[in-house]
Chains A and B, each alone.
Chain A
């Protein structure tokens, strides 16, 4: 499998009707605002073609629709497209691909950088700004360094502080490893490289046993190029090389959502070289907006790492899926599982709490619940769980979750899990059958309705016509 680079992904999204070009010249801060609104209304990915500076801006390339509104388009569709999968790939198939990338040996192929060296002025790049007076933003990218001959990648977010100066937030472990080594900032990289970088940053198995370039190669982005700072994806739209030093104060503005999942540190980077591809595509992630790209990427990464960790934990694999809905801003975790025995739901919830710091609320669903139908899963939270017996609050001794806005003072608090699965102790006769076309009508009536649909006078059903 070969994962497309960013511009190929953009072309595919446009061919799918899932990308909108905005050719008008907008105010300097408007692309950021328009990108935020597009994400909020489940709009398509955007490409701003006429922006001040070098390059174009793209947003929503790793985003996706709000599943509480959209029925047939799934929130991870653009991530799937960017990995070379079908846009309608199920969560299960996405999970298999990403998990396999943690164990499949794949060769990292070194080639030449497609970006060409230009100048040292970072401010010449068409990076987004959130307000007319705020600095240019690095909203999405990866940072690379070489330690003992091995390249390490990490997610990055930051600001431009001068023609050759950047302030970057990176995972603390990356900053510790980088020391005073040269670093390279790569912008506009393939989504496979982004996901690999984030997966490696979680420190979870199986991905922690491999470096990010190898994971990216297994996801289909195998080409890297050597620069000061190790290797970067050869297809990167922009590469900034420079020297890094530790900083105390983090970059201003809204943090990216991945910063809620790992401890971070700040690097100050003095750029020595900037390389760009012709007419480069620069990411514009509306940080802080609902459903922005950073939320989607973090959701996929957290969800797949939790799915992988929780199965096998008890010697069996009862969990069908774990999903942090992007719609909930990663403050809620849904898990569909068989409840093996009385009290298993308590173990399951607390295991998930132990493995992620993002959320403090979990909803446990029956194993046959569909991650592709979020609205129905949420319905079960309200109607299948007894309002008191099945809403379980811990003592207020738990550390504060990072996605919510409350308890930013470091105080401890409670956690909540809602058991919306059928009680395994119940008699079978107590279990209410679900109302659906496939379960409520005899086969001959189902077939008759489908076969005669157009002859009744209805329009042809294209897709998404069922649960």
Chain B
């Protein structure tokens, strides 16, 4: 396997896509008001190239651009563009891709701090009353949304009691020139810092919202990096070289120097602004409009001709990919696998259900120990971020958890309704309000970002029971590979044959 260089910036990644015919530079003037999003949705639905909108109408920043779903993968191979961004070969099978990402995460690298004069994100600096958030082309993504959003960024926030700084992703709705609302859902790392440290102490939480960060940073931001860990180190590992950080203008935070745009500010204690509704990752517009923590903006720094990336949420379900769903498979999956290994669980791979970001994960296991799956599910459901996830499906080690057909068959034919569906109690477990199966009353008003009504979690043991009837005609790996070689020699395109994992898979 020959690695290329990980793209050192978003625009370098876009140039790479361009060189490989994976980018369309839309020169015609388009509007941020639904049009750019509509084009991006159409591109996702048709598996087309990534659109970079070179000319956006009604922006106050010269040369400001939009890019729709830059990390969206193909419907057959959702990890493809993330692999390109990380300098990995584009034709990797899923298992080899997972192993490559895990291998990099195992080798974190310390970041370095660079001089602001050398930082691209400081090419233009505006502070105080010179800041005008609405001069940037934030997209209006769905016609029923509550406003314009930044939803593909890295939110940088510090723990007030230690040197730990968390990188995460929380969509942000723009209100006026210096205010925005940030969706902080309790149960996740940064929201917990806000609700249970800063706000209780009546202190503002300093934040930086990094828009258009380099790919390794964007990937790290959606991962489940352990609490207390320096995420910049993992991003460096993922990149293969140190991340260059630069100090903010108005607080002590360090941000990736290669970013397109950085919003500096404070999430204020006790202050709320309206947010939503928004077409979210479930594939539905969910409401109602709620009050969420308010961001006061102190400074904006950016590159000249900044590129604002966005994700057309709501389409990354079913057959259609978007950045969220592709990153869930490509980044969160490998990281979750590594996390389970680090916790001492000998799983083969942990991946999201291909067509449903976040709600259900599939874990391939080879354990036969009594109680092991219950123990594993119990551990997973109690870690942070699990308020989004309702189901785990366990499959045998020889089932590719990214092969939805194989997982579906395992559920249908190996999961006994009498013995293999395990619920962790009704109305006992927490849930974020971003769901569509609860009524607005059950979701509550998001005072702490969780639903008012509790929910249930479940795991499905879709592994084969040793007493089950054997399947006589299952082919061995060798027979499958020989059969695939016959099919390839006869003219079947090789990309149709990629569901067979390579020999390098665990």
Contacts and interface: CB of A to CB of B under 8 A. Distances in A.
A383 interface: yes
Contact of B35 (A332, A396, A449): A449
Interface in A443-457: 445-446, 448-450, 452-453, 455-457
B418 interface: yes
Contacts of B427: 388
A71 B404 CA distance: 14
Contact of A457 (B24, B287, B360, B464): B24
A385 B435 CA distance: 10
B398 interface: no
B490 interface: yes
Nearest to B489: A24
A66 B479 contact: no
A413 B285 contact: no
Q: Which of A42, A407, A433 has the most CB of B within 10 A?
A: A433
A26 B485 CA distance: 12
A373 interface: yes
Interface string B412-451: 1110111101010111000000011111100000000000
B472 A448 contact: no
Interface string A33-69: 1101110111110000000000000000000001011
A405 B414 contact: yes
A7 interface: no
Interface in A342-383: 359-361, 373, 375-376, 378-379, 382-383
Contacts of B172: none
Contacts of B45: 437, 465-466
Contacts of B282: 383, 432
A38 B76 CA distance: 17
A200 interface: no
A441 to B, nearest CB: 5
B144 interface: yes
A7 to B, nearest CB: 20
B469 A34 contact: no
B38 interface: yes
A22 B482 CA distance: 14
A395 to B, nearest CB: 9
B50 to A, nearest CB: 11
B455 interface: yes
A111 B419 CA distance: 56
Interface string B279-315: 1001111110000000000000000000000000111
B471 A465 contact: no
Given A71-B75, A433-B285, A458 B49 contact: yes
Contacts of A459: 48
Contact of A375 (B28, B37, B43, B404): B404
A382 B440 contact: no
Nearest to B49: A458
A180 interface: no
B214 interface: no
A254 B37 CA distance: 51
A451 to B, nearest CB: 12
A275 B479 CA distance: 34
A288 B285 contact: no
Q: Which of A23, A41, A385, A442 has the most CB of B within 10 A?
A: A41
Given A30-B483, A37-B480, A435-B279, A403 B412 contact: yes
A20 B390 contact: no
A22 B417 contact: no
B279 A430 contact: no
B412 A435 contact: no
A298 to B, nearest CB: 14
Contacts of A446: 38
A138 B75 CA distance: 38
Nearest to A458: B48
Given A22-B486, A388-B458, A437-B45, A457 B26 contact: yes
Q: Which of B314, B457, B492 has the most CB of A within 10 A?
A: B492
A68 B279 CA distance: 23
Contacts of B318: 373, 375-376, 379, 467
A391 B458 contact: yes
Contacts of B473: 32, 36, 130, 253-254, 286-289
Q: Which of B24, B319, B455 has the most CB of A within 10 A?
A: B319
A158 interface: no
Contacts of B425: 388
B45 to A, nearest CB: 5
A360 B417 CA distance: 8
Given A406-B414, A414-B418, A466-B45, A375 B406 contact: no
A41 B499 contact: yes
Contact of B38 (A331, A413, A445): A445
Q: How large is the interface on A (under 10, 10 to 19, 20 to 34, 35 or more residues)?
A: 35 or more
B247 to A, nearest CB: 39
B484 interface: yes
B417 A68 contact: no
A435 B435 CA distance: 14
A325 B285 CA distance: 28
B487 interface: yes
A38 B315 contact: no
B96 interface: no
A254 B471 contact: yes
A114 interface: no
Contact of B437 (A253, A329, A361, A386): A386
Nearest to B24: A457
Interface stretch (B201-209, B257-265, B351-359): B351-359
B38 A433 contact: no
Interface in A174-204: none
Contacts of A386: 437-438, 455-456
A288 B471 contact: yes
Contact of B279 (A42, A404, A440): A440
A290 interface: yes
B200 interface: no
B319 A376 contact: yes
Contact of B24 (A22, A24, A456): A456
Interface in A251-302: 253-254, 286-291
A328 interface: yes
B478 to A, nearest CB: 10
B354 A68 contact: yes
A427 to B, nearest CB: 8
Nearest to A291: B405
Nearest to B25: A457
A23 B313 CA distance: 48
B312 to A, nearest CB: 8
B394 to A, nearest CB: 15
Q: Which of B144, B286, B411 has the most CB of A within 10 A?
A: B411
Interface in B447-506: 455-458, 464-465, 467-469, 471-475, 479-480, 482-484, 486-487, 489-492, 496-497, 499-500
Contacts of A325: 408
A415 B284 contact: no
Given A68-B354, A388-B426, A441-B143, 16 more contacts: A30-B486, A34-B483, A36-B483, A37-B483, A38-B483, A38-B492, A41-B484, A43-B492, A253-B473, A254-B473, A332-B408, A386-B456, A405-B471, A435-B142, A440-B144, A461-B48
Q: Which 7 residue pairs of A and B lie closest in terms of their CB atoms, listed nearest first?
A: A435-B314, A331-B412, A288-B473, A376-B318, A388-B456, A37-B483, A432-B284
Interface of B: 24-28, 34-35, 37-39, 41-43, 45-46, 48-49, 51, 75-76, 142-144, 279, 282-287, 313-315, 317-319, 353-356, 359-360, 390-391, 404-406, 408-409, 411-414, 416-419, 421, 423, 425-427, 435-440, 455-458, 464-465, 467-469, 471-475, 479-480, 482-484, 486-487, 489-492, 496-497, 499-500
23 contacts: A22-B486, A24-B489, A33-B482, A37-B483, A37-B487, A43-B496, A254-B472, A287-B473, A288-B473, A331-B412, A360-B417, A361-B412, A375-B354, A379-B318, A383-B282, A404-B412, A405-B471, A406-B419, A413-B418, A441-B38, A441-B143, A449-B38, A458-B24
